[in-house]
């Protein structure tokens, strides 16, 4: 089932009397989540992700705008009738109930034709438990399980009514790094198997990128970009999106476009073919860590003199397959930033060298207006 938002807005009154302004938690959402896809809602803390989920499931009513499930306007339909399964940010299992009863819980209040016998409920609970592979734990209580297992119980509980939409609010935030990766792959598998339209909230860009079919990047209630993870990474619409995606983060410098050339300080880093007909102006230049290319000198050694971009070498960190080259630059957007370039470990870099010099892969260089921070090139 697809979910469509039309001008969806949620404003909260500000409780701080000194500041009259309202908080706009969700600001005119207008877009569509395609049927059967997993969409990652990504943004910093407080940007409105949980509010957006609460609007979809009906726990909050919008100040303005409409929500549609396929062609049905569900804006005024109460939460319990929307057919939505939700895993909350704090996944809150009932501590006094065992796994079976926790999973069965949403089935107990069904009325009329939907009402089930105990046997039917147990069968449904087992079915949901099998999807998340916890069928052996049905008699345990939450405090007798690991965080990851509890997480799966919460997902099974959200799945048990076979919802039309599954909403997951930071479902992995309480897990350790390894379990996080394992569980996120699990969520992807479950979503693939069930084909339930799923919205997955996270502030972790790597998590969103790794499992989403589409990501929605938010800030201050507003959508900044929607696209496939790789598209958003390769074609960010503005400086915020470019900075939010990628580890290590994009390196940002102040520079200028001058006579068809892109310059940082005294260096001309890219020429006319790249700049084309963008007018002269001050800009921010973002370079992804993998966009730096080390150039070899004549004798096959890196002499630190050949590239179009030179910087002060701070450290060389060899990390197996890759080497991280840490450097500083006088034209950093934020003074004193330690920048990082990621190059293959095949490169031999002299850590004693004062200067490191790179060529640049133009596909990994983005130019933003200094005024609007929108992307120019």
**Residue 12 touching ligand ATP (CB under 6 A):** yes
Shortest distance, position 21 Cβ to ligand ATP, whole Å:
11
* Strand, coil or helix: 59: coil
Which C-beta is closer to ligand ATP: that of 25 or that of 365? 25
User: How many CA atoms lie within 13 Å of 212's alpha carbon, on the beta-carbon side?
Assistant: 29
51 binds, among ligand ATP, Mg ion, none (CB under 5 to 8 A by kind): ligand ATP
CB distance 95 to 143 below 8 Å? yes
**Residue 50 touching ligand ATP (CB under 6 A):** yes
Fill in the per-residue mask, 160 to 199: x = in contact with ligand ATP (CB under 6 A), - = not in contact. ----------------------------------------
Which C-beta is closer to Mg ion: that of 50 or that of 198? 50
What is the spatial distance between Cα 210 and Cα 216, in angstroms, rounded to a whole number?
A: 14
**Residue 49 touching ligand ATP (CB under 6 A):** yes
Which C-beta is closer to Mg ion: that of 50 or that of 150? 50
* Strand, coil or helix: 357: strand
Shortest distance, position 16 Cβ to ligand ATP, whole Å:
10
Which C-beta is closer to ligand ATP: that of 25 or that of 86? 25
Q: Hey, how many other C-beta atoms are within 10 angstroms of the C-beta on 114?
A: 9
Q: Given the rule CB under 6 A, which of 27-35, 49-57, 188-196, 349-357 is the region that contacts ligand ATP?
A: 49-57
CB distance 240 to 224 below 8 Å? yes
What is the spatial distance between Cα 117 and Cα 79, in angstroms, rounded to a whole number?
A: 23
**Residue 50 touching Mg ion (CB under 5 A):** yes
Which DSSP letter does residue 278 get?
Answer: P
Give the C-alpha distances (Å, rounded to integers) separating 322 from 146, 203, 307: 34, 26, 20
Shortest distance, position 290 Cβ to ligand ATP, whole Å:
28
Give the C-alpha distances (Å, rounded to integers) separating 354 from 54, 203, 227: 53, 37, 41
CB distance 211 to 38 below 8 Å? yes
Rule CB under 6 A: choose which of 47, 153, 223, 316 binds ligand ATP.
47
Which C-beta is closer to ligand ATP: that of 125 or that of 215? 215
What is the spatial distance between Cα 46 and Cα 24, in angstroms, rounded to a whole number?
A: 10
Handedness of CA 49, 53, 55, 56 (dihedral sign): positive
Q: Given the rule CB under 6 A, which of 39-47, 66-74, 274-282, 302-310 is the region that contacts ligand ATP?
A: 39-47
CB distance 177 to 17 below 8 Å? no
**Residue 23 touching ligand ATP (CB under 6 A):** yes
Q: Minimal CA–CA distance to 142: which of 199, 102, 184?
A: 102
CB distance 229 to 212 below 8 Å? yes
**Residue 94 touching ligand ATP (CB under 6 A):** no
Which C-beta is closer to ligand ATP: that of 26 or that of 93? 26
Which C-beta is closer to ligand ATP: that of 50 or that of 149? 50
Shortest distance, position 142 Cβ to ligand ATP, whole Å:
22
* Cross-strand bridge partners of residue 323: 318, 343
Shortest distance, position 60 Cβ to ligand ATP, whole Å:
8
- Chain residues binding Mg ion by CB under 5 A are 50
Under the rule (CB under 6 A), what is the footprint of ligand ATP? 12, 23, 25, 43, 45-51, 89, 203
């Amino acid at each position: 089932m697809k979910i469509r938002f039309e001008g969806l807005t949620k404003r909260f009154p500000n409780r701080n009397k000194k500041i009259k302004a309202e908080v706009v938690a969700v600001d005119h959402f207008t877009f569509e989540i395609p049927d059967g896809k997993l969409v990652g809602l990504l943004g910093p803390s407080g940007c409105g992700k949980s509010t957006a989920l609460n609007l979809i499931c009906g726990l909050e009513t919008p100040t303005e705008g409409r929500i549609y499930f396929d062609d049905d306007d569900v804006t005024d339909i109460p939460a319990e009738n929307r057919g939505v399964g939700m895993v909350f940010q704090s996944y809150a299992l009932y501590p006094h109930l065992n796994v079976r009863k926790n999973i069965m819980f949403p089935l107990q209040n069904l009325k009329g034709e939907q009402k089930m016998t105990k046997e039917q409920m147990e069968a449904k609970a087992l079915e949901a438990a099998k999807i998340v592979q916890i069928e052996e734990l049905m008699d345990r209580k939450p405090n007798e399980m690991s965080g990851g297992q509890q997480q799966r119980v919460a997902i099974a509980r959200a799945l048990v009514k076979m919802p039309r939409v599954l909403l997951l609010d930071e479902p992995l935030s309480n897990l350790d790094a390894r379990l996080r990766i394992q569980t996120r792959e699990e969520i992807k598998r479950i979503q693939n198997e069930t084909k339930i339209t799923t919205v997955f909230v996270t502030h972790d860009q790597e998590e969103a990128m790794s499992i989403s079919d589409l990501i929605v990047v938010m800030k201050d209630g507003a959508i900044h970009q929607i696209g496939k993870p790789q598209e958003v990474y390769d074609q960010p619409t503005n400086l915020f999106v470019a900075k939010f995606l990628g580890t290590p983060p994009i390196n940002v410098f102040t520079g200028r476009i001058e006579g068809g050339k892109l310059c940082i300080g005294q260096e001309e880093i890219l020429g006319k073919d790249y700049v084309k007909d963008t007018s002269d102006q001050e800009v921010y230049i973002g370079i992804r860590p993998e966009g730096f290319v080390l150039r070899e000198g004549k004798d096959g050694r890196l002499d630190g003199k050949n590239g179009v971009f030179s910087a002060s070498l701070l450290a060389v960190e060899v990390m197996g397959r890759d080497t991280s080259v840490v450097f500083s630059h006088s034209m950093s957007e934020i003074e004193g930033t330690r920048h990082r370039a990621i190059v293959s470990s095949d490169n031999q870099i002299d850590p004693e060298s004062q200067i490191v010099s790179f060529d640049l892969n133009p596909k990994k260089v983005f130019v933003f207006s200094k005024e609007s921070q929108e992307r120019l090139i």
